[in-house]
Chain A
Amino acid sequence: MTAPRTTAGGSIYDLGYRHYEGARLGRRHAFLALYTASLRQLFGLGRGARSKLIPWGLTAMTFLPAVIALAITAVVGTQTSGSFGSGGAAGGPGVGGPGAGGPGAGGGSSNPLTSLIGFSGYYGDVSQFLFLFVAAQAPELLGRDQRFHVLTLYFSRALRRSDYVLARFSALATALFGILLAPQLLLFLGRGLAADDVAATLQADLPSLPPTVAQAVVAALLLSALGLAIAAFSPRRAYATAAIIAAIIVPPIVAAVVQGGDLGGLVRFISVSDVLDRTAAWWFGTPLVTSDVSTPLTPDRAVIVAVIGTAILLVVLLRRYARIAA
């Protein structure tokens, strides 16, 4: 009785080849699959602890200002009436917009520390961590496939070269957008829920959300395009990381050294950190806190530079992959 069953059980290892009759979802599915896999790769999901250390460490750092602000709110914030911390960035006219202007002054004076952490200055507070995230993880997305010739396996499938590039780019931009916006959403909700008057506080903070999202979008797109455009030309991860960091920190240093001359002002046009500081100032309508306010790179020009810069870097990236051997 049992003997034939054992034989039958043994034969499961010899099913023979089975043809696939199911759906073939084509290029769009291939794009989404690569996008999803890239996001997982960026955060080290499905990989060892070492792959998670840098992305999650940097993500934690972007949450730090929000967590500090909320912790202080929890301890002392509720003692003051009205909404708290609407003072925004140093010298800013008020994150909460016109509605929060009045009570904001009171809250800010009672607790100067928390008033430093608001929406208009949040990008500036965490921008270094975004730079590090791009420098560390953009090479992760591109370098391995170039170094080990994995591109051949991608390009011989239901995918175009441009699809590969845009899926990788979208994933990195999504990751940056997420780690910049998520802590600010936490701050937004946390402040509301911690306040005596939840609805009024949320409503007072609401005008800060559109510029917050706009800055997150612009920063995510520009930094992703920059990081990938550089990583595409240096398969070695360490070199790519160093080159990305250099591309971000060298221009402002040069600008500072030659400060005063016309050249210094012009160099700021290719300084990603200067451009993004000014786009933030543009969205929030805050004055610049940088020492070099006389530069021709005004906030309105910075928005245009960010858009054009992103486009140019994307073209460079796509052209590189249109020609790369695979």
Chain B
Amino acid sequence: MAQPLIRLMALTKRYGAVTALDSLSLELEPGIIGLVGANGAGKSTLLKILLGLLAPTSGTATVLDLDAARQGTRLRELVGYMPEDDCLPPDISATDLVAHLAQISGLPSTAARERTADALRHVGLFEERYRAIGGYSTGMRQRVKLAQAIVHDPRLLLLDEPTNGLDPAGREEMLELVRRTGTEFGITVVVASHLLGEIERVCDYLVAIEGGRLLRAAPLATFTGHTGSLVVEVEEGAEGLAERLRGQGLRAAIDGRSVLVEAAGGGVYDAVRDAVADLELALDRLEPGRRTLEDLFRDGPTGDPSAPATQPEAPPEAPVESRT
């Protein structure tokens, strides 16, 4: 591709003395892109600059061949945005709201109504879409927020913490919607989240920022994979289990009701099974541990030296990589 979908060149944003984004340079191609970072890392600031809502202090953001700072109105016709916070008026129906917002995005009124029906069906809102939003559950509200972001068929979709406030089942459904939007609809999606464990399941490219600086940008495969640990959740007696496993030469740590066991070889599963059986514990869950955002940062330039040992395929520290 001649022009990347998003190109950031030395993008910097300062609020007074606070630097929210520090000289960010990045090129992104179409796909589902995860934007991870702790709260306050600059994710929302970056999304708002990509929308042309915030002007960068220095540097440029080019999105869909448009300068975000100067051609924002034109750009926003082609971009959908799902804000992090609640932003829905309670007294009108989802249909009325989304159709109205579709027109504000530039769609003629007939098209706005048709696309509203499509968008609400895609996010799974049916009969309830004619009721006032005030009576909706959090899950339904998140769906309305997603629907308003895709109603004008954007070429780029920016989602800020789309699973915020959802219960586990709701999170799964929202992630599935995000994945479908990216793959089946062919819309490029940027999902910002502080939960790596969630977005690593839907995205195929990952951008990690910390303190406004780019930590890494690379295809997902180079980031994740299993941590090489097992999560063993037992009803009670986690301490006893951990002790017994340590007695067998395994590295085991307590995490709430779970025991995290470092899985060095194939015998670990057997050892865990035998230990649980011998101690007559009630086993709730046994699964490969996923890397968390903390792992990601631990592996980073300032990381814990012991962690990379479990990740021999971890990428080199050169943070900026162009996706091909």
- Pair count A-B, CB < 8 A: 104
**A22 at the B interface (CB under 8 A):** yes
**Nearest CB of B to A277, in Å:** 37
A24 touches B106 (CB 8 A): yes
**B257 at the A interface (CB under 8 A):** no
Number of interface residues of B (CB under 8 A): 39
Neighbour of A156 across the interface among B76, B88, B106, B153, CB < 8 A: B76
A-B contact pairs, 10 of them (CB 8 A): A17-B184, A24-B152, A29-B103, A29-B108, A30-B103, A33-B100, A33-B104, A46-B96, A149-B85, A158-B73
Q: A25-B108, A29-B103, A34-B104 are in contact. Are A159 and B53 (CB under 8 A)?
A: no
A157 touches B105 (CB 8 A): yes
B83-124 Cβ-contact flags toward A at 8 Å (1 or 0):
101111111100010001101111111010001001001100
**Residues on the A chain within 8 Å of B51, using CB:** 156
**Nearest CB of A to B145, in Å:** 8
A39-54 Cβ-contact flags toward B at 8 Å (1 or 0):
0000000110000000
**B148 at the A interface (CB under 8 A):** yes
**Nearest CB of A to B177, in Å:** 12
**B173 at the A interface (CB under 8 A):** no
Chain B residues at the A interface, C-beta cutoff of 8 Å:
51, 53, 73-74, 76-79, 81, 83, 85-92, 96, 100-101, 103-109, 111, 115, 118, 121-122, 148, 152-153, 184-186
**Nearest CB of A to B183, in Å:** 10
Q: Tell me whether chain B's interface is mostly helix, strand or loop, or mixed.
A: loop
Q: Tell me the complex Cα distance, A144–B196, Å.
A: 35
A157 touches B89 (CB 8 A): no
**Residues on the B chain within 8 Å of A154, using CB:** 101, 104
**Nearest CB of B to A137, in Å:** 15
Pick the 4 closest A-B CB pairs, nearest first: A20-B153, A33-B103, A156-B81, A17-B185
B185 touches A24 (CB 8 A): no
Q: Tell me the complex Cα distance, A152–B186, Å.
A: 25
**A160 at the B interface (CB under 8 A):** yes
Neighbour of A22 across the interface among B81, B108, B118, CB < 8 A: B108
**Residues on the B chain within 8 Å of A27, using CB:** 73, 106
Neighbour of B107 across the interface among A13, A19, A20, A144, CB < 8 A: A20
Chain A residues at the B interface, C-beta cutoff of 8 Å:
13, 16-20, 22-27, 29-30, 33-34, 37, 46-47, 144-145, 148-150, 152-160, 326
Neighbour of A20 across the interface among B83, B86, B103, B115, CB < 8 A: B115
Q: Tell me whether chain A's interface is mostly helix, strand or loop, or mixed.
A: loop
A159 touches B115 (CB 8 A): no
Q: Tell me the complex Cα distance, A153–B103, Å.
A: 12
From A160, which residue of chain B is reached at the shortest CB distance? Answer: B73
**Residues on the B chain within 8 Å of A145, using CB:** 89
**Residues on the B chain within 8 Å of A33, using CB:** 100, 103-104, 109
**Residues on the B chain within 8 Å of A158, using CB:** 73-74, 76-77, 104-106
Q: Tell me the complex Cα distance, A117–B51, Å.
A: 55
Q: A20-B111, A158-B104 are in contact. Are A149 and B76 (CB under 8 A)?
A: no
Q: Tell me the complex Cα distance, A116–B301, Å.
A: 85
**Residues on the B chain within 8 Å of A30, using CB:** 103-106
From B155, which residue of chain A is reached at the shortest CB distance? Answer: A19
Q: Tell me the complex Cα distance, A275–B77, Å.
A: 43
Q: Tell me the complex Cα distance, A152–B148, Å.
A: 12
A20 touches B152 (CB 8 A): yes
Q: A46-B96, A156-B51 are in contact. Are A25 and B106 (CB under 8 A)?
A: yes
B106 touches A29 (CB 8 A): yes
**Residues on the A chain within 8 Å of B87, using CB:** 148-150, 152-153
Which of A33, A155, A157 has most chain B Cβ within 10 Å? A157
From A51, which residue of chain B is reached at the shortest CB distance? Answer: B91
Q: A30-B104, A160-B73 are in contact. Are A153 and B148 (CB under 8 A)?
A: yes
A19 touches B184 (CB 8 A): no
Further 17 A-B residue pairs, CB within 8 A, beyond A33-B100, A157-B105 = A17-B184, A17-B186, A20-B115, A20-B153, A24-B106, A26-B74, A30-B103, A33-B109, A148-B87, A150-B87, A152-B83, A154-B101, A156-B76, A157-B76, A158-B77, A158-B106, A326-B53
Q: Tell me the complex Cα distance, A153–B145, Å.
A: 9
**Nearest CB of A to B217, in Å:** 24
Q: Tell me the complex Cα distance, A19–B150, Å.
A: 10
B89 touches A148 (CB 8 A): yes
**Nearest CB of A to B204, in Å:** 19
Neighbour of B53 across the interface among A25, A37, A156, CB < 8 A: A156
A22 touches B104 (CB 8 A): no
**Nearest CB of A to B67, in Å:** 16
From A32, which residue of chain B is reached at the shortest CB distance? Answer: B103
From A37, which residue of chain B is reached at the shortest CB distance? Answer: B100
Q: A17-B185, A148-B87, A156-B51 are in contact. Are A24 and B107 (CB under 8 A)?
A: yes
A157 touches B104 (CB 8 A): yes
**Residues on the A chain within 8 Å of B121, using CB:** 13
Q: Tell me the complex Cα distance, A41–B131, Å.
A: 18
**Nearest CB of B to A142, in Å:** 12
B96 touches A148 (CB 8 A): no
